[in-house]
Amino acid sequence: MKKRITFRLSTTQIIMLSFLLVILMGSALLSLPVSSADGTPVPYPDALFTATTATCVTGLVTVPTGLAWSPFGQAVILVLIQIGGLGVVTVISALMILLNQRMGIGDRLLIQDAFNLNSLSGIVRFVKNVIAGTFLVEGAGALCYMLVFVPEYGARGVWISVFTAVSAFCNAGMDVIGENSLCDYAANPIVNLTTSLLIVLGSLGYIVWWDILRVMKKATPTNRRLFRHLTLHSKIVLVSTLNLLFGGGALFLLFEYHNPLTIGHLPLANKIQVALFQSVTTRTAGFATVPQQYLTNASSVLSLLLMFIGGSPVGTAGGIKTVTVAVLALATWATIRNKNEVSVFERNISRQAIRKAVAVTAMAFSILFTATLLLSAICDANMLDILFETVSATATVGLSRDLTPHLNLAGKLIIICTMYLGRVGPISLALVFNTGKRPPNCIKNPTEEISIG
């Protein structure tokens, strides 16, 4: 009797394939004549690129979102952004909950891997809270945008507000206003503040949300030291985020202060506003209030660093994540001080977390290096522009120095693959080939010292 061969996909493989399926379905819809603004089908490479950048919440575009696509096409893009921001698994799980379908252990494992959670307990409640919290924040953001866009655009301002709110919270960076992102609103405090808050809330991560709410509920008039009651993860995320946002804003202000092509001609208050927004948007959001190609070299390099770091885990942002960088920095400092344990806030960080941080960074750098090398080989452009493009794609940011619209077919395919790998997560590229088989024996190899550095 022949033995039946079965193929069982791991949760990581299912997550990667689900994103790929959504991208292919989205590209098919966007290639239809009804999706085009003028009724002429958009070339499939551009439809595929747009579907990828929307699902991977990146924001790099080869055709202007507000001009190339019809209302139907824009609606498809918005749905792709929402699915990409929440995650395909989360959306499917939410539909199962809505239809009163029971979630099995396999479904719960998928959610656990999708959000990198440590436990299966409370998975259903977690999904409900994620969906409710997302729509609440996006709705509030849309209402704030309407204060600006409805008086300016009339009824169309409602759609612009909703689209921008979803795009900002999901860190997608796409808009339907025009071809120059939010540059026309560089001095508008409502647009700047609303966009910044949506980006930061999306990039903090859902588990930080719930942890802050948990601590606030337990606060009493006699016990107001809320920070000490947060989990170690939340403490690292909040401290890292604040340092990167305000530190980056201060450096952008310094580097661009006298640059007439960006903020040199603006009053001091507006200079500070634009500098802080640039620091926020490089956290994988992709909106721009100044043309990125006019930044000084120092600001461009700083942008590369902030984009590569990105947001925080279990959120809508990309990059290698703030916690990863914090763990690497702490491990480096511990090694320099000849400490056996890596600790912060009176807590030790596990060696498994340190190893994972190293793996994530190494894989992300490998993707970035490969994409940069390939794009440099087929694209005749400035090296800084190419590196800006590939870092933006790897970290799913969406900022560009005006190179994206000029990419040839090979260049578009390279960026499509880079955005996809950046969205599903650098470590997933390695895990997807993991068969899960254990070694045949438990014999350990002998240890031998080697020289490092």
Q: What is the mean pLDDT of residues 84-107?
A: 69
According to DSSP, residue 224 is labeled -
Beta bridge partners of 344: 347
Q: Does residue 204 lie in a domain region?
A: yes
Q: For 185-236, what is each residue's pLDDT tens digit?
A: 999 999 999 999 999 999 888 888 888 888 888 776 656 677 888 889 999 9
Work out the percent of the chain whose per-residue pLDDT is above 90: 56
Residue found by looking up tokens 């929307």 in the block = 54
Alpha helices for 100-155 (secondary structure H): 105-114, 123-153
Q: Cα(44)–Cα(151) distance, rounded to whole angstroms?
A: 36
What's the number of domains the chain is made of?
A: 1
Is residue 52 situated within a structural domain? Answer: yes
The answer to whether residue 438 sits within a structural domain is: no
Based on the number of CB atoms within 10 Å of its own CB, is 288 exposed (0-12), middle (13-18) or buried (19 or more)? buried
Whether the per-residue pLDDT at 182 is higher than 50: the answer is yes
Name the phi and psi angles at 36, rounded to 5. Answer: -85, 145
Identify the three-state secondary structure at position 36.
strand
Query: What are the pLDDT digits (tens) for 22-80?
Result: 999 999 999 999 999 998 999 999 999 999 999 998 889 999 998 999 999 999 999 99
Sign of the alpha-carbon dihedral angle for 253, 255, 258, 262? negative
* CA–CA distance, 425 with 364 (Å, rounded to integer): 8
Per-residue pLDDT tens digits for 257-314: 999 999 999 999 999 999 999 999 998 888 999 999 999 999 999 999 999 999 888 7
- The verdict on residue 443 lying in a domain is no
Please report the pLDDT score of residue 118 as a whole number: 60
Q: At residue 70, what are phi and psi to the nearest 5 degrees?
A: -75, 170
Structural domain of residue 332, as residue ranges?
Answer: 11-213+227-431
pLDDT tens by residue, 133-164: 899 999 999 999 999 999 999 999 999 999 99
User: Any idea what DSSP says for residue 348?
Assistant: E
Structural domain includes residue 426: yes
| Residue 129 placed within a domain | yes
What is d(CA 233, CA 248) in angstroms, rounded to the nearest whole number? 22
Question: For residue 451, is it within any domain?
Answer: no
Tell me the H-state helices in 56-102: 65-68, 71-86, 88-98
Residue 218 inside a domain? The answer is no
DSSP, collapsed to helix, strand or coil, labels residue 156 as helix
